[in-house]
Structure 1
Amino acid sequence: MTETADPAGPGFDPAAVLKTLPNRPGVYRMLGEGGEVLYVGKARDLKKRVSSYFQKTDLSPRIRHMVARIRDIQITVTRSEAEALLLENNQIKALAPRYNILFRDDKSYPYLLLTGHAWPRLAYFRGTPDKRDRVFGPFPNAFAVRESIQILQKVFRLRTCEDTVFANRSRPCLLYQIKRCSGPCVGLISEADYARDVNNALLFLQGKDDELARELTAKMEAASQALRFEAAAFYRDQIQALTRVREKQFVESRSAQDADVIAVALKAPVVCVYLMMIRGGRSLGGRAFFPGAAEGIEAAEVVEAFVSQHYAGRPVPPLLVLDAAAAPEGLEDWLSDAAGRRVQVLTNPVGERRAWLAMAQSNAELALTAREGQRASQEKRLAALNEVLGEEGINRIECFDVSHTLGEATVVSCVVYDKGAMQPSEYRRFNITGITPGDDYAAMREALTRRYGKLAAGEGVLPDLLLIDGGKGQLNVTVEVMAELGLTGLPMVGVAKGEARKPGLEQLFRPGAEQAISLPADHPALHLIQQVRDEAHRFAITGHRAKRAKQRTSSSLEGIPGVGPKRRQSLLQRFGGLRGVVAAGVEELAQVEGISRELAERIYRELH
């Protein structure tokens, strides 16, 4: 857009507004026609920062476009820039302004947890830990946490079982047999020896591998000299396992420092930020982020937006490594204020830190290339789908699927495909009750009514295409419900599974059409339908299993007549917990002291 003599648009006098702004930190909001929030920003000095929009001549096209639409400016003064940073992030997430760079990342990061019990347990964890427990991370994804737990099991043999299972075991589990646990539940290791293994695991997690290796070597040699060859062999095995783990490390580091490495790759109109996490000098892997509004922006703008949104409410490591060209002014001060301690921002790294940054930049470029390829593929699939259905402008697809086990715990899922990708934040599940068990038509009717009932009154977003995982019967129910809601004219497709449920043989049914549409197995439109349908099926199955497990657990041993506290304890001890009792047959249950054949049959019926 070209600049005009009135860059802020007619009817708005920026000079009058700028006179009223204070030289204090805070958050500013640029408003457009009708009070629409165009942009939210933070500033150390509100007057200087807001004035720069109307005084600079080298603004990017995106910012010039935004300034031309400003009709009002609102501010909120804060006590510090760090407080402004948090407020800015909250308002960006709540208002989703059109001209802000938005990173959709509300999901919490996983941690590795070492509990504070007498016999500490290794666990995967999200949320706020107990003060007694020790957490390590955050990790970029769940896979990285579980991989670390497997490593610690192999080397130090710490327990991972739930407390209820641990307290009721009468014999060691399979993990003990395959040498992944030392069997503390049944006293196969002393408390002192287990505490030693826990301490060694802590050294490993803190990046003190060399210190741990020296300590284990010294103990092995001392045991060998004392002719305690079994103990020496145990230490030898630990050293060998530790060596194999260190050889597999993604990045070899000579420090035990925690750091985040941030790299940016830009290739209009797509932008990627890659975050690599270093904990205890060890790379935990990384994660790619793609902003929602990224056209016409520079690397420093992207990093500023990412940092302000990513670290709000999350711990900040003591070191951030990034390219000098992507470092916004004052970043180190912002982070230090927000963290309440010194945070170093390194923009010209050397040595191993340079290797970290090079690796992050390489991953950012690879992720960007993959994203571009995915976007082109999705555009091709959408175009093919529009052509097959004889429609125009199909972009948003919503798909429904029903899941239950012989009518038990019925769940209907609704997943959303929009903007060329699945949109998990818009998924919904509907727990269905009050219908005849196994009546899929009634379940679908209720879910559709609940989903689109409000939409008929003007609330929500109408999809461009409605997919139903089912044949003609399911589709006919859908047509009836949408007609009752007054939402006619919406394209609908029923997806019936092919012969032997084999992918590629699906049949597509349209309302009022006698013949089904059969597409070749390699057709792009069919691939898109399969992608959305499979995601609906996965989401429904996950919800159904969780609901079924909850229902069965809630009607556990406590609600069974004839099973009092003593018999309940005997059952749990014999089978190692409720899961073991559920898996046991009638004959096995009847072998427990105090459980008759008749009672065993009753227990089995109640649990199944």
Structure 2
Amino acid sequence: MLDADGKVLYVGKARDLKARLNSYFQKRVDAVKTRALVARVAGVQTTVTSDETEALLLEQALIKELRPPYNVLLRDDKSYPYIRISVEQTFPRVGFHRGKRKEGTRYFGPYPSAGSVREALNVVEKVFRLRNCRDSFFRNRTRPCLQYQIKRCTAPCVGLVSEEDYRRQVALAIDFLDGRDAQVTSGLEQRMAAAAEALDFERAAELRDQIAAIRLVQQKQYVDTDRGDVDVIAVLARHGLAVVEILVVRQGRVLGHHSHFPRVRADDDEEEILEAFLSQYYLGDSGDLALPAEVIVDRPVESLGALADALRAAKGRKVRFASAVRGERLAWLRMARENAEQTIITQLTSRDNMAQRYAALAELLAMPAPPARIECFDISHTGGEQAVASCVVFGAEGAIKGDYRRFNVAPAQGGDDYAALAEAVTRRYQRVTREGKALPELLLIDGGKGQVKSVMTALESIGLGHMYVLGISKGPSRKAGLEVLHRSDGRELTPPADSPALHLLQQVRDEAHRFAITGHRARRGKARNASVLEEIPGIGPRRRQQLLHHFGGLQQLRNASVESLAGAPGISRSMAESIYAWLHE
């Protein structure tokens, strides 16, 4: 799609071109990005390909070359770090590497970050005692350096180790980095037994320490299997930001994670972001990217079959894509999702990001300066029972969690959110004024006109009718980005979906919602804890007592995994699965 000057605005592929174009040029289009794109389109060019695979390859080539503003673009194209062992040398050196690779040298990776490379190097130096010094330093030594003194090198520079013994350690390190831990451990155990039999107890002790260090590394792995090379990918979009998190698994070992931040628009959905990312990431021409045998994604994507065919055509490699997984793969996927969640929280709370959003909010609300303190209320209940009101506080640096408060509210009629909000607001600000603490410069309410009116009435009754109150409600479609803002004077604001001010209000509102729900669940769970174990089929009084005694309480029992439950006295695997399902349904 081209603008009036012939500049490319968007590149896409379509099996049915007419249907695809009709989806853009309709009288009513909900997506803000699509409306903005169509407003600028002056012409369309098409290229016919022989099949969908060829179309996908062409699409990615054009996106990379032209970088159209309305495509999701992958910005992070740095080369990946590796571990390098110079096997061509008499006494090979192990070290960090990034950039072009040369023949005659072994490379291990790619690793997701420099930190994960250094962690692996630390293990290799400690366990296998290979040199990491530069060649110029190595050639000019006359006595061992500090690395030898702290037992992280065997000092080949001054002949304290034979070439044969050093090469044996290099071979073990290579096996270890290739993921053959069990093979390395088995070989060391045999050598330790032989050394002990020969009464060489000093050597046997050194081998014992090597084995112990390797086993310690194995224990630190979240999952350690022989399932091969896998990339596990999760995507999360929130408040105008998006992150694609890649968990790197090589030879069944989790090496770490790497975050990518595609340039997106507010109404790009996560499936669209993931689809664009996968094709650009794996079909790119970066020589540093080693294709895994399998890619696990956190949601189904329609074009995965075409992408696999395109990779086979472009790279000569067969890559399997999967979204429905279980066992170890499900554990990896959960880890990727958790890392994505943490990454986007970090980005949302960064100082520069918050400053930009506060300034935009002041402009949107016509305030003389950005509000120094925002407080937001929300209500959570189940059928009107166990209602909890939350109050979260944000300042210029983000969430001020020490000032968060919850209120157990009991309106006269169960489920009356208006009365519940009025009660919570009254209790909150009567105490604030009594103690002389700071009032918020903006009071945000999760709700529409009715909630705002109820809160204003409550504030006026305690002499605080001058406070700036703003309601935020979801639009008719209840889709994020289409929220309506309700002022206390009855006027409404509808900021665009990509407004930084709206993203800040969404973030504050969502935090209030989360805080209210967790409080409500805790209150509801407290009322049920006394009888929850009695409801589990097949668990009698004696077994209940054993379970509580084994885990130390009901909360610890709830946090236990299926494997931990199965390890309790008298609990079979099938019974453990039943207990876990009952406690988490």
Task: Give the structure-2-normalised TM-score.
Answer: 0.56
Alignment equivalent of 2:265, drawn from 291, 294, 300: 294
Provide the C-alpha distance between the structure 2 equivalents of 1:99 and 1:355, rounded to a whole number of angstroms.
35
Q: By how many angstroms is 1:392 displaced?
A: 11
RMSD of aligned Cα (Å): 3.1
Alignment equivalent of 2:237, drawn from 241, 266, 272: 266
Which residue of the partner structure matches residue 563 of structure 1? none
Question: Is the counterpart of residue 154 in structure 1 residue 154 in structure 2?
Answer: no
Counterpart contact for 1:272–1:290, Cα < 8 Å: yes
Counterpart contact for 1:155–1:242, Cα < 8 Å: yes
Question: Is the counterpart of residue 215 in structure 1 residue 191 in structure 2?
Answer: no
Alignment equivalent of 2:6, drawn from 2, 16, 35: 35
Q: By how many angstroms is 1:70 displaced?
A: 2.5
Provide the C-alpha distance between the structure 2 equivalents of 1:381 and 1:60, rounded to a whole number of angstroms.
27
Residue type at the aligned position of 2:317: R
Question: Is the counterpart of residue 123 in structure 1 residue 95 in structure 2?
Answer: yes
Segments of 5+ residues of structure 1 without an aligned counterpart are 1-29, 394-419, 421-608
Residue type at the aligned position of 2:149: Q
Residue type at the aligned position of 2:20: S
Residue type at the aligned position of 1:212: V
Segments of 5+ residues of structure 2 without an aligned counterpart are 371-396, 398-585
Alignment equivalent of 1:186, drawn from 136, 158, 162: 158
Residue type at the aligned position of 2:263: G
Counterpart contact for 1:300–1:328, Cα < 8 Å: no
Alignment equivalent of 1:334, drawn from 296, 306, 310: 310
Q: Mark the CA change 1:273 to 1:252 in structure 2 (over 3 Å): closer, same or farther.
A: same
1:376-525 equivalent positions in 2, closer than 5 A = 376-379=353-356
Provide the C-alpha distance between the structure 2 equivalents of 1:170 and 1:369, rounded to a whole number of angstroms.
53
Q: Mark the CA change 1:290 to 1:190 in structure 2 (over 3 Å): closer, same or farther.
A: same
Q: Deviations over 1:108-159 (max 9, x none)?
A: 1111111122222111111221111111111111111111111100000111
Q: Mark the CA change 1:196 to 1:256 in structure 2 (over 3 Å): closer, same or farther.
A: farther
* DSSP 3-state at the match of 1:266: strand
Q: Mark the CA change 1:55 to 1:305 in structure 2 (over 3 Å): closer, same or farther.
A: closer
Residue type at the aligned position of 1:36: K
Residue type at the aligned position of 1:363: N
Q: By how many angstroms is 1:282 displaced?
A: 1.4
Q: Mark the CA change 1:35 to 1:90 in structure 2 (over 3 Å): closer, same or farther.
A: same
Question: Is the counterpart of residue 143 in structure 1 residue 115 in structure 2?
Answer: yes
Which residue of the partner structure matches residue 199 of structure 1? 171
Provide the C-alpha distance between the structure 2 equivalents of 1:158 and 1:385, rounded to a whole number of angstroms.
59
Alignment equivalent of 2:291, drawn from 316, 322, 326: 316
Question: Is the counterpart of residue 353 in structure 1 residue 316 in structure 2?
Answer: no
Q: By how many angstroms is 1:203 displaced?
A: 1.4
Q: Mark the CA change 1:131 to 1:320 in structure 2 (over 3 Å): closer, same or farther.
A: same
Q: By how many angstroms is 1:362 displaced?
A: 1.2
Provide the C-alpha distance between the structure 2 equivalents of 1:340 and 1:71, rounded to a whole number of angstroms.
39
Provide the C-alpha distance between the structure 1 equivalents of 2:21 and 2:188, rounded to a whole number of angstroms.
62
Provide the C-alpha distance between the structure 1 equivalents of 2:227 and 2:167, rounded to a whole number of angstroms.
23
Counterpart contact for 1:83–1:338, Cα < 8 Å: no
Counterpart contact for 1:277–1:285, Cα < 8 Å: yes
Residue type at the aligned position of 1:155: V
1:243-258 equivalent positions in 2, closer than 5 A = 243-249=215-221, 251-258=222-229
Provide the C-alpha distance between the structure 2 equivalents of 1:392 and 1:273, rounded to a whole number of angstroms.
35
Provide the C-alpha distance between the structure 2 equivalents of 1:114 and 1:77, rounded to a whole number of angstroms.
47
Q: Mark the CA change 1:381 to 1:60 in structure 2 (over 3 Å): closer, same or farther.
A: closer
* DSSP 3-state at the match of 1:130: coil
Which residue of the partner structure matches residue 556 of structure 1? none
Which residue of the partner structure matches residue 504 of structure 2? none
Q: By how many angstroms is 1:64 displaced?
A: 4.9
Residue type at the aligned position of 1:126: R
Provide the C-alpha distance between the structure 2 equivalents of 1:327 and 1:283, rounded to a whole number of angstroms.
27
Residue type at the aligned position of 1:353: R
Which residue of the partner structure matches residue 461 of structure 2? none
Provide the C-alpha distance between the structure 1 equivalents of 2:113 and 2:361, rounded to a whole number of angstroms.
34
Q: Deviations over 1:447-466 (max 9, x none)?
A: xxxxxxxxxxxxxxxxxxxx
Residue type at the aligned position of 1:224: A
Question: Is the counterpart of residue 104 in structure 1 residue 75 in structure 2?
Answer: yes
Residue type at the aligned position of 2:242: V
Q: Mark the CA change 1:380 to 1:304 in structure 2 (over 3 Å): closer, same or farther.
A: closer
Which residue of the partner structure matches residue 167 of structure 1? 139
Question: Is the counterpart of residue 277 in structure 1 residue 245 in structure 2?
Answer: no
Counterpart contact for 2:234–2:337, Cα < 8 Å: yes
Provide the C-alpha distance between the structure 1 equivalents of 2:93 and 2:309, rounded to a whole number of angstroms.
38
Residue type at the aligned position of 1:261: V
Provide the C-alpha distance between the structure 1 equivalents of 2:297 and 2:256, rounded to a whole number of angstroms.
16
Q: Mark the CA change 1:88 to 1:170 in structure 2 (over 3 Å): closer, same or farther.
A: farther
Q: By how many angstroms is 1:317 displaced?
A: 0.9
Task: Give the structure-1-normalised TM-score.
Answer: 0.54
Residue type at the aligned position of 1:205: L
Which residue of the partner structure matches residue 365 of structure 1? 341
Question: Is the counterpart of residue 66 in structure 1 residue 37 in structure 2?
Answer: yes
Q: Deviations over 1:56-111 (max 9, x none)?
A: 87976133542453222334567876665555445434433121111211211111
Q: Deviations over 1:338-362 (max 9, x none)?
A: 3312101121111101000011011
Q: Mark the CA change 1:83 to 1:151 in structure 2 (over 3 Å): closer, same or farther.
A: farther
Counterpart contact for 2:271–2:299, Cα < 8 Å: no
Counterpart contact for 1:316–1:335, Cα < 8 Å: no
Provide the C-alpha distance between the structure 2 equivalents of 1:90 and 1:123, rounded to a whole number of angstroms.
35
Provide the C-alpha distance between the structure 2 equivalents of 1:392 and 1:101, rounded to a whole number of angstroms.
34
Residue type at the aligned position of 1:66: L
Q: Mark the CA change 1:300 to 1:290 in structure 2 (over 3 Å): closer, same or farther.
A: same
Provide the C-alpha distance between the structure 2 equivalents of 1:182 and 1:259, rounded to a whole number of angstroms.
35
Counterpart contact for 2:225–2:253, Cα < 8 Å: no
Q: Deviations over 1:481-520 (max 9, x none)?
A: xxxxxxxxxxxxxxxxxxxxxxxxxxxxxxxxxxxxxxxx
Q: By how many angstroms is 1:262 displaced?
A: 0.4
Q: Mark the CA change 1:72 to 1:155 in structure 2 (over 3 Å): closer, same or farther.
A: same
Which residue of the partner structure matches residue 479 of structure 1? none
Counterpart contact for 2:230–2:295, Cα < 8 Å: yes
Using the TM superposition, name which of 147-156 and 165-174 deviates more.
Answer: 165-174
* DSSP 3-state at the match of 1:285: strand
Provide the C-alpha distance between the structure 2 equivalents of 1:323 and 1:100, rounded to a whole number of angstroms.
21
Provide the C-alpha distance between the structure 2 equivalents of 1:118 and 1:49, rounded to a whole number of angstroms.
62
Provide the C-alpha distance between the structure 1 equivalents of 2:80 and 2:23, rounded to a whole number of angstroms.
41
Counterpart contact for 1:206–1:256, Cα < 8 Å: no
Which residue of the partner structure matches residue 21 of structure 2? 53
Provide the C-alpha distance between the structure 2 equivalents of 1:268 and 1:343, rounded to a whole number of angstroms.
33
Residue type at the aligned position of 1:123: G
Counterpart contact for 1:320–1:343, Cα < 8 Å: yes
Counterpart contact for 1:115–1:133, Cα < 8 Å: yes
Paired residues, what number? 358
Counterpart contact for 2:362–2:369, Cα < 8 Å: no
Q: Mark the CA change 1:132 to 1:256 in structure 2 (over 3 Å): closer, same or farther.
A: farther
Q: By how many angstroms is 1:302 displaced?
A: 1.0
Provide the C-alpha distance between the structure 2 equivalents of 1:292 and 1:352, rounded to a whole number of angstroms.
32
